[in-house]
Amino acid sequence: MLFKKYIKNPSPVKSLFSFLFLIFSLISKVNFAQKQGQEKIDSLKLFISEFKSPCNVPCIFDSSKVNALCFLAWEYHTLNPDTALKIFDQAYQLAKKISWNPGIALALHVGGQINFQKGNYEQALSLANYALRIWDSALSQSPPGYKSFLLMRKSNTLANIGMVYTNTGKNYTAIDFQLKALENFELLHDSLRMGRQLNNISVSYKNLGDLSNQLKYSLMALKFFELLKDEKQVMTVLANIGLVYRSMNDFKNAFSYYNKAYQLAEKYDNKMLMANALLNKGAAYSYLDENKLALLCFYSSLSLNKEIDNTIGIIQNLGNIGTVYNDSADILIQKKEPERAKQFYDTALVYYFSALKMEEEVGTRTYKVINLGNIGLAYSSLRQYGKAEKYLEEALALSVEIESPDDIRFNNEQLSELFIKKGNYKKALEYFKNAVVAKDTFFNEEKIQEITRLEEQYKFDKKEAITKAGQEKKDAIAKQELEKQKVIRNSIAGGAGIIALSSLFSFFFYKRKRDAEQKQREISLSLQVSETEMKALRSQMNPHFIFNALQSIQTFLLSHQSDEANNYLLKFSKLMRLVLENSQHSEVSLKEDMQALELYMQLKSIRLPHPFTYKLHIDESVNMENDSIPALILQPFVENSIWHGLQYKTEPGKIDIYISKKDNAIYATVEDNGVGRDMSKQVSQPLLHKKESLGMKLTEERLKILNELKKIKAQFKIVDLFTKENKPAGTKVELSLPLVT
């Protein structure tokens, strides 16, 4: 094997191969990992179609193409598993042709995940275990510097095997593999993957009905992600904790966690996680018989899943919508409205069969067993017992095949009830006994108390971490006070002379304490200033703004406007440099701040449907080189003028900025001719969900801290402008800022 040969017998040419492989791997990882969704798929397809090997025959240089094929198969594994399998086969065959073991293992790893997604668990395990053997072999023959990379890939495969065992009901085996993966990630100091693995372990305990351990590992995962400040992972864990509470019928806490998960997903515009949160909320509403609210959640989730072409999500929602109609029909039966109930049962069957058809097209069995059982249940309610028995028996057989204890219990229970309706009590008893054997026995008072204890412990630990510094300070002050009292008592016993001496010491300690507190207060305020300045930097150069800027450059290039693209890129790079340079200083010269502000307005103007104009009015009293102001202080006002005033105008707008100096203070005015605040609120309310401007809040906070720290009176006010006819004519912000000395 080529890979083994150049590891054992290094030569200049073979070392070059190794070096190029690492470069190709890193390039693939950086270029492809940073893109999202369809953009990432298109990028990978373009790379693969334009790839040209420098060799006449397959060689190690083709490793970058293997990587790209594996990444592309991974992107498709949830969207279209059949397409993913075809791409996996191309990657696997090419890796074998060039005798590249890590590439073979990577392809097998991805192939295992695709089969897992399709519900082909036996094949998924076979491919993953094969990959595991190759990883072990590669690890034993690789140079030390490459071992961490291979160990990471091996650990991912261990984690995936754990997921397969979780879904086949072999949860104890799953936990063994998950703990091995967790141990490796700990060796690699990979906190992110440790958090993910802890979350996977919690899912395995959920399937075992061990809710206390499920919550324990979920909270451990939550702590990791909160320390990493990884809100995207936090939202996944929040959803899982919501499931724990839903299992306990504690819907208040369940909804609380689901809502937190949805809000974070919405913040990052992650439609996949938004859809999952809505799916979970819908299920909770369904348990509460709030069928209208459940349907609203399921239809919203279905719409999002269709938008991102997530087949599995579509199947889940179709089945859940069917179940809501089925439950609604049951209620109508109780109300003695059989005709309407029949319509609802028929509608439920339409959704169940739609989900079933999609499952058969994609080949997944994960949700097929649920829909088969629900179809049987609907036919039983319609008294079509022959069809009901057929689908329930098929569901039971499949649940046994995939080793799903909960589905085995459910289908045995439904068959038992069906045969009671048919009058065959012997078979009804037989299925009832099978259901009892399979039934989960996980709810008891002791476990509920353990769950409550874990939740309270988590809250306590979190609160303790936040207040620890403050508590230590209080303890120190209390200890100091005791020492002071001791000195006073000894002084009284010692006489008037010692009293005088102790008074001097008391004054000394008091002054030292006061000075220490004052210093601590100044440090605290300085830290707050730094924090708000950093927030202001993030507000100005947020990922959304950077993404839009790069998208504009791409648009110019695609439309062959190279000069415009070059001009835009030049301005964007200058702005980035200025903002990063200015952010290193608490105050910058007016000249530097105005340069950054002008570039910002130029870039923003290009993106609006009606570009606006701007003008700087600098009074002669101002020294642009020497007069300084806090960095980025005016940008939020300009941003508000653009997004809350000018973008809603049907014609080009303008911004005027006036800078003057009087009585050792800088006065700045930002004036626009936008639609005004009232109109902006009416137009933007559905889009902004009544959120206030983050930039304005940060500016207000910065000024408040500066006033306290520098003993000045900086302030701003917003004035609405009107025409003579009393119609909105724009907004004016007036800022007064005593010069920082």
DSSP lists the bridge partners of residue 734 as: 669, 717
Tokens of 227: 């320390």
pLDDT of residue 412: 87
pLDDT of residue 45: 85
- Residue corresponding to tokens 């091995």: 180
pLDDT of residue 476: 57
262 close to 221: Cβ distance less than 8 angstroms: no
Residues 646 and 675: their CA atoms lie apart, in Å, by 7
Distance set, CA 481 to CA 474, 489, 498, 604 (Å): 10, 12, 19, 58
369 close to 404: Cβ distance less than 8 angstroms: yes
pLDDT of residue 667: 92
DSSP string, 202-243: HHHHHHTT-HHHHHHHHHHHHHHHHHHT-HHHHHHHHHHHHH
- Residue corresponding to tokens 């369904």: 286
Give the 3-state secondary structure percentages of the chain, helix then strand then coil, rounded to 5. Answer: 75, 5, 20
Tokens of 51: 């790839």
Say what the alpha-carbon torsion angle 429, 434, 438, 443 is, to the nearest 10 degrees: 10
Residues 504 and 491: their CA atoms lie apart, in Å, by 11
Residues 597 and 578: their CA atoms lie apart, in Å, by 10
One-letter identity of residue 634: L
pLDDT < 50 positions in the chain: 1-35, 440-451, 453, 469, 496-510, 513, 516, 519-520, 522-544, 685-692
282 close to 297: Cβ distance less than 8 angstroms: yes
Residues of the chain with CATH 3.30.565.10: 585-738
Phi–psi pair at 671, nearest 5 degrees: -125, 130
418 close to 389: Cβ distance less than 8 angstroms: yes
pLDDT of residue 375: 92
DSSP lists the bridge partners of residue 589 as: 628
pLDDT of residue 480: 61
CATH topology of domain 585-738: Heat Shock Protein 90 (3.30.565)
216-223, Cβ contacts within 8 angstroms, sequence gap of 24 or more: 216/454, 218/244, 219/454, 219/455, 219/458, 221/195, 221/196, 222/458, 223/458, 223/461
